[in-house]
Amino acid sequence: MKMKNHLFFVAVLIAAVSCSTPDIHEVIIPCPTEIEVLSGQVSLDESPDPVAVIGENVMDSPEGYELTIDKDGIVIKAGSETGVFYAHQTLKQLRYAYSGRRMPAVHILDAPRFEYRGMHLDVSRHFQGVEFVKKQLEMFASLKLNVFHFHLTDGIGWRLQIDRYPELTDIGAWKPAGWKYGDPTDLFASADSLDAVGGFYTKDDIREILAFADSLHITVIPEIEMFGHSSEVLTIYPELKCKGKTVQESTHPVNEFCIGNEKTFEFLENVLTEVIDLFPSEYIHIGGDEASMRHWAACPLCQKRMKKEGLTDVKELQSYGIARIEKFVNGKGRQIIGWEEIAKGGIAPNAALMSWRGVEAGQQATSTGHKVVFCPEPYCYFDAYQDEPIKLPEAMTNYVSLENTYSFDPAEGDFEGKDLIWGVQANLWTERVEEASHAEMMYYPRTFALAEVAWSLRENMDYDNFRKRAIRLSDKAREDGYTVFDLRTETGPRPGSVDSIEHLAVGASVTYADDFHNSDQFEKKGILTDGKCGPWSHRYPGWDTFAGTDADVTVDLGSVLKIKNIETSFASYGVRYGYFPLEVKYEVSLDGVNFETLSVMNGTKAADEKRPDFEKFEWKGRTKARYIRVFAARDTAFATRPGIWGSGRLMLDEVIVR
Ligand code: ACM
Ligand code: ZN
């Protein structure tokens, strides 16, 4: 009887907690600057419509707002319609959290940390229609994001109607039926073929998106890629390619416009004229990333241009081209922004920069007087996995969790020109994101974290608190029809990859039987005994790579120790980038000369073709040893292609000894 009473009490308590009134500090994303709880309780359901007053800026910001909710009603004060709009976004989140409940009376003062708060969408690799874009804009605005970076052109498809060059969308927007990312990129279908896949935005579509964005206080910045990532244009207009014969197109496809050819500038300026007529944004994104410069180096026209302009290398040739485009765009009263590579041969005088490979290029640019949007890969690339990859649809092989995004602070560190940090952005590249629902899952909830990084003061940010708010807002988003990754099922970082683990081999020296494994791209010596396991991605430090060879390493513990457990894990990513060992053998020795076999284990897992996966090899028992040799046999069945990457690799993160 007593027990029953007890259980009843627990049940009542659980019920009470699960529908208790939310703490006002666990509701709003992005976190407001100041929340002052007033006396008394109110019901938003019963409150009259808000009264909005536009007067002076709040907190010195035209986007700032003051929101008072008390027994007298709801009052919004702001310096602009945008501030009023943001107060309404806060109010919507409060209404959701306190629906059917009373909430504390509050006074909220709020303004953004950064002026530029952006989200990006690549619609070249996989096209999404107008309704999808509008739906995401609605969510972005609700998070007080204010820039939509619309990546409209890239090698896979051209997505914007250009009247002067109808072939760009008649041909360049369509792939043959069944075409999948990874198939030859230069296959295009005619728009007339019934089963062609793809699409593009007409100018009316764009006007519809722009009007909608404007109503949400979002600026749309269009991106027209140059001089690289342009193979779709060059397939249609091959005369804009370089003319060099020394570089084989079969092995090095041409993705770059010829900068030596005047026709390139004629084409780009004609396109930009229509883009500028259509999009009212002050900034036009001109791409500039990842151009391979080898064709320019071999092209007589490019070489002639370099000579004429006194340019010493192809990086300067690229900068010449960008500066020329900047002059054209400036002449139309607009500015350019480009990916960080545009600064490689000297940044154009008025250009703003997007720092994406890391933060260094951005810091360099602010120190020389340029505005910078920070969107570095390890925090802001939403094409990466947000959790344990094997649970998720195929993505790019990096790992960017909600917490990674949340931890990014563009002002961290010592560098000049911090007042030129324009803001932050997250990028959604869609090479591996075809379905609308997958795209949304990649955006949410990580976009919530980006929004808080962009808007909120650092001192108000706390991840544990944010995560609760993110779960609540994820529920709201789902109710509103969005697909959202479920944080309640999150595995979190790979065990041992964030917090160091203690074991007997930490700091021990490691001898490699074969130096061939070493590649400056991936490994660091010492990785196997640094007390850290590798992350959910083989692309970031943490994994030691054995390319085209078996793994054969010996760990020296420094003295003879009692041992009861040895554990190693291997990462795979398809058979191309890494596969699991066929066999793993542990040997031990007291003197480093005579080794005794402890364990021989067969690999049992096949590499997942699409996603990183991991296999653990563990021995348990009792022994004494100073030296531990780990030998992992590669699968030579995969050693079919030339070069160390072609023959695949074994990836090992830590030799854990207990
Ligand atoms: C980029 O991710 N290539 C800008
Ligand atoms: Zn050329």
Looking up residue 173, the CATH number of its domain turns out to be: 3.20.20.80
Residue 481 lies in a domain: no
* Rounded-to-integer distance, Cα 571 and Cα 606, Å: 11
Q: Are 386 and 278 members of one domain?
A: yes
> Which parts of 325-434 are beta strand (E)?
335-339, 352-355, 372-374, 384-385, 396-399, 421-426
Residue 140 CB: number of other CB atoms within 10 A? 24
The per-residue pLDDT for range 389-435, each reduced to its tens digit, is 999 999 988 899 999 999 999 999 999 999 999 999 999 999 999 99
Q: Would you state the pLDDT for residue 7?
A: 52
Whether 424 contacts 454, CB under 8 Å: yes
Phi, psi dihedrals of residue 323, rounded to the nearest 5° = -65, -35
Ligand 1 pocket, residue 431 CB under 6 Å: no
Same domain, 267 and 399: yes
* Average pLDDT rounded to a whole number, residues 193-204: 93
Task: Find out whether the beta carbon of 339 lies less than 6 Å from any atom of ligand 1.
Answer: yes
569 and 449 in a single domain? The answer is no
Q: What is the pLDDT of residue 540?
A: 65
Average pLDDT, the chain: 92
Write down the pLDDT at residue 363.
98
At 11-56, the pLDDT tens digits run 444 444 445 789 999 999 999 999 999 999 999 999 889 999 999 9
- Number of structural domains (the chain) is 3
List the beta strands (DSSP E) in 46-188. Answer: 51-54, 65-70, 73-78, 103-110, 116-122, 147-151, 153-154, 157-158, 174-175
Same domain, 207 and 95: no
How many other C-beta atoms lie within 10 A of the C-beta of residue 114? 20
pLDDT digit string, tens, across residues 169-185: 999 999 999 898 888 88
Domain's final residue, options 412, 438, 453:
453
Kindly state whether residues 76 and 200 are assigned to the same domain: no
Evaluate whether residue 518 is within a structural domain: yes
Residue 604 pLDDT greater than 80, yes or no: yes
**Are both 99 and 62 inside the same structural domain?**
yes
Are 149 and 102 part of one and the same domain?
no
- The verdict on the CB of residue 165 being under 6 Å from ligand 1 is no
Q: Are residues 27 and 136 in the same domain?
A: no
Distances (CA, A) of 343 to 269, 353, 403: 21, 8, 30
Res 303 pLDDT > 70: yes
33 inside domain: yes
- Look at strands 51-54 and 116-122 and give their pairing: unpaired
Q: Which helix (H) or strand (E) holds 168?
A: helix 167-170
Predicted local distance difference test score (pLDDT) of residue 522: 45
Query: Which of 110, 133, 159 represents a domain boundary (last residue)?
Result: 110
Q: How confident is the model at residue 250 (pLDDT cuts 50, 70, 90)?
A: low
Please identify every residue whose CB atom is under 5 Å from ligand 2, which is an ion: 242, 258, 260, 299, 301-302
- Is the model's pLDDT at 638 over the cut of 90? no
Whether ligand 1 lies within 6 angstroms of the CB of 356 is answered as: yes
**For range 578-584, the mean pLDDT:** 88
| Closest-CA residue to 522 (of 397, 639, 429) | 397
pLDDT for 514 beyond 80: no
Relative orientation angle of helices 300-309 and 314-331, to the nearest 10 degrees: 70
Q: At 393, list the tokens.
A: 């649809």
Residue 388, in any domain of the structure: yes
562, part of any domain: yes
Q: Which tokens belong to 463?
A: 């991840």
* pLDDT at position 413: 95
Residues 174 and 42 in one domain: no
Tell whether the model's pLDDT for residue 204 goes beyond 50: yes
pLDDT digits (tens, 9 = 90+) for 617-636: 999 999 999 999 999 998 77
Residues 30 and 162 in one domain: no
Q: Is 501 inside a domain boundary? A: no
Q: Of the candidates 618, 401, 573, 405, which has an alpha carbon nearest to the alpha carbon of residue 494? A: 401
Residue minimizing CA distance to atom 3 of ligand 1: 289
Rg, Å, the chain Cα set = 28
Q: Answer with the one of 91, 110, 129 that is the final residue of a domain.
A: 110
Ligand 1 within 6 A of CB of 381 = no
Residue 537, domain extent: 509-657
Q: Return the structure tokens found at 115.
A: 């002026």
CATH for 622: 2.60.120.260
Instruction: Classify residue 293: in a domain, yes or no.
Output: no
Output the domain CATH number for residue 25. 3.30.379.10
Query: Which of the listed residues 339, 344, 380, 539 should we mutate to test ligand 1's pocket, taking the one with most ligand atoms within 8 A of CB?
Result: 339
One domain, residues 339 and 395: yes
pLDDT greater than 90 at residue 650? no
Residue 630 within any structural domain of the chain: yes
pLDDT at 219 over 70: yes
The confidence score (pLDDT) of residue 548 equals 73
Going by alpha carbons, the residue nearest to atom 1 of ligand 1 is 289
Report the residue among 290, 337, 340, 431 best suited for mutation to probe ligand 1: largest number of ligand atoms under 8 A from its CB.
290
- Same domain assignment for residues 84 and 152: no
